[in-house]
Amino acid sequence: MGDREQIIERLAELAAALDRRDWAAIGAMFTEDATGYGRTGRAEIVAVVRRHLGGCGPSQHLLGNHRVRIDGDRARSLTYARVMHLGAGPMEGRHYECFGEYDDRWVRTAGGWLLTSRTFQITMQFGDFGVLRPG
Span 90-126, pLDDT tens digits = 999 999 999 999 999 999 999 999 999 999 999 999 9
Per-residue pLDDT, 9 = 98
What is the extent of the structural domain holding 109?
Answer: 3-131
Per-residue pLDDT, 1 = 86
Per-residue pLDDT, 40 = 98
- DSSP secondary structure of 80-133: EEEEEEE--GGGTT-EEEEEEEEEEEEEEETTEEEEEEEEEEEEEEEE-GGG--
Please give the model's pTM, rounded to 2 decimal places. Answer: 0.95
Give per-residue pLDDT as tens, 2-60: 999 999 999 999 999 999 999 999 999 999 999 999 999 999 999 999 999 999 999 99
Q: What average pLDDT does this structure show over 65-94?
A: 98
State the chain's mean pLDDT as an integer: 97
Question: What is the C-alpha separation between 42 and 28, in angstroms, rounded?
Answer: 8
Q: How many domains does the chain have?
A: 1
CATH number at residue 55: 3.10.450.50
Q: What average pLDDT does this structure show over 67-90?
A: 98
Bridge partners (DSSP) of residue 70 are 75
Per-residue pLDDT, 135 = 80
